[in-house]
Amino acid sequence: MGISLRSRIYIVELLDKGEVGKEYTVAGWVDTVRAHGGIVFVVLRDRTGKIQLVVKKNVSKEAWKTAKNLTPESVIAARGTLVESKAALGGRELVVNELTVYSKADALPIDIKDHTKTILAKRLDWRFLDLRNPRNFLIFLIEAEMVRAAREWFYEHGFVEIFTSKIVGAATEGGAEVFSIVYFDKPAFLAQSPQLYKQMGVIAGFERVFEIGPAFRAEPHHTTRHLTEYTSLDLEMGFIDGFEDVMDAVEGVVRAMIRRVISTFGSRIKECFPDAILEEPKEIPRITIREAYKLLESAGIDVEWGEDLSSEGERKLGEIIEREYGSPMVFVTEYPWRARPFYTMKKSDDPEWTLSFDLLFRGLEIATGGQREHRYEVLVKQIEEKGLNPKNFEWYLNMFRFGAPPHGGAGIGLERVAMQLLGLGNIREARLLPRDPERLTP
RNA sequence: GCCGCGGUAGUAUAGCCUGGCCCAGUAUGCGGGCCUGUCAAGCCCGUGACCCGGGUUCAAAUCCCGGCCGCGGCGCCA
């Protein structure tokens, strides 16, 4: 007669609401098979959970024969009677009357039961199998929820979602670290940031814009916290009093993301990620980089005044803030002009420093932002100061000749937030299909 | 880009320093067998590997050179 998938019920639903004694159809992947002669236990997994199927020779010989030859990760459907069982996980199990195999799985190339048993590189080679592990799968449910929470926050706060081009022409903010692509007969690049375009959004009159999309960096990093392609949550807002307004926004979004993740997945995170943070930060301190230098110096770390913090410095600062303020996050403000891009607004009374900030989460930069220079003449001068040619920024500079409000914005690295929140050891875990200098597939 | 480390069965590792005791050990997987209440089932039997090329040596997984591949640290950045 065959099993109809139309009558399929999700496993959690069955465990929660199924009536004992009734017949149900479930379908999914074979999690484990334990054969004991005349009785075979099959744990079936779908995207909602797991249930134990009991396949007995004296209930259905045909199903029993099929069951004892099942391989892990094969796709099957089972029709059976729900029964109570003290022994079974979830307290209930399905006594199988009929079993269909849709797809028999070969022997697995990686250990999907325990992610620590296979090195990450190999797991990523077999990413689709790696994601059969609920822990790994969960990371992407979390990111989806984070993005959703962020998007909702943006909409609630009057931001307009924009979609800017990722194919860009020659002139970009830095010049280096971009991927070249062939665009018909012209040189072109992959956008390393929507920076200039989101400013355009503000100046065009949207006033507040955000974008969630890919950013490309051609830096040959070999670290556990860099990708050549990542998801950036960018925001830009006009008519601000100062960069504090931007920090407030960043704090608002990040809090919204973390709050949502904890409330939605808290208990599952606790099970899967022993190093995860399960509490929203209370107060996020804001310190100037000069205060950060001092804190590091008094902790015995060498710092160079007027330079960006080293990665060691950032890590240490994270520890110090955690200890002194009890916060996993800290805003470091007023970065030196020499360490910031041309569009950053300088501090008017002290132009060595800028109206900019980084947000550190457990000692790692997860966001960067600041107030942008909106005065045409000053902007031209700053481009020159950075050794760039204003002629190459003509279209950009034009935006500041026809009414540009004071504005600022920031970029937040999605994978970095996820990595630090969950306490992952490698950012590649937080990206579905990570790209790094070596990896281009799958 | 600079620096460091590493490539042994499907997977993860031991062995390498101090060459022979290694036709390579262990765990897990896989194949087979027994078993009607297992919980990553258990027990028994079996299967399967030294990245590629060159060199040194009586002898190379082990030492040397080259290549390929991978991992990490730094700089820089989200």
Question: What's the Cα-to-Cα distance from A378 to each of A199, A289, A383, A417, rounded to whole Å?
Answer: 16, 24, 9, 34
> Which of A381, A370, A382, A375 lies closest to A399, judged by CA?
A375
One domain, residues A309 and A216: yes
A89-93, A111-115, A185-189, A357-361: range with lowest mean pLDDT: A89-93
> Which of A168, A166, A147, A162 lies closest to A233, judged by CA?
A147
Mean pLDDT, range A335-339, rounded to an integer: 92
The C-alpha atoms of residue A131 and residue A425 are separated, in whole angstroms, by 17
* CATH code where residue A50 lies: 2.40.50.140
pLDDT class of A279 with cuts at 50, 70, 90? very high
> Which of A235, A266, A239, A265 lies closest to A253, judged by CA?
A235
Asked if residue A403 keeps its beta carbon closer than 7 A to nucleic acid strand B, the reply is no
pLDDT at A291 over 90: yes
What is the pLDDT, as a whole number, of residue A173? Answer: 56
Mean pLDDT, range A356-362, rounded to an integer: 95
The C-alpha atoms of residue A26 and residue A53 are separated, in whole angstroms, by 10
Q: What is the 3-state secondary structure (H, E, C) of A119-161?
A: CHHHHHHCHHHHCCCHHHHHHHHHHHHHHHHHHHHHHHCCCEE
Asked if residue A36 keeps its beta carbon closer than 7 A to nucleic acid strand B, the reply is yes
User: For A75, phi and psi rounded to 5 degrees?
Assistant: -100, 125
Q: Residue A363 falls within a domain, yes or no? A: yes
List residues forming the annotated binding site of A for ATP: 217-219, 225-227, 365, 413-416
* Helix segments in A29-76, DSSP class H: 61-68
List residues forming the annotated binding site of A for L-aspartate: 173, 217, 368, 372
The C-alpha atoms of residue A384 and residue A150 are separated, in whole angstroms, by 36
* CATH code where residue A397 lies: 3.30.930.10
Return mean pLDDT, chain A: 92
Q: Residue A88 falls within a domain, yes or no? A: yes
Q: Residue A118 falls within a domain, yes or no? A: no
pLDDT class of A304 with cuts at 50, 70, 90? confident
Instruction: Render pLDDT for A370-428 as a digit per residue (tens, 0 to 9).
Output: 999 999 999 999 999 988 888 888 889 999 999 999 999 999 999 999 999 999 989 99
Instruction: Render pLDDT for A176-224 as a digit per residue (tens, 0 to 9).
Output: 478 888 888 888 888 888 999 999 999 999 999 999 999 998 888 888 9
Q: What's the structural domain count of chain A?
A: 2
The C-alpha atoms of residue A173 and residue A52 are separated, in whole angstroms, by 57
Asked if residue A291 keeps its beta carbon closer than 7 A to nucleic acid strand B, the reply is no
Joined together, the tokens standing for residue A386 give: 């950075």
One domain, residues A93 and A131: no
Structural domain of A91: 5-103
By C1' distance from the Cα of A413, the closest nucleotide is B78
Nucleotides of strand B under 7 angstroms from a protein beta carbon: 1-3, 10-13, 28-31, 34-42, 69-78
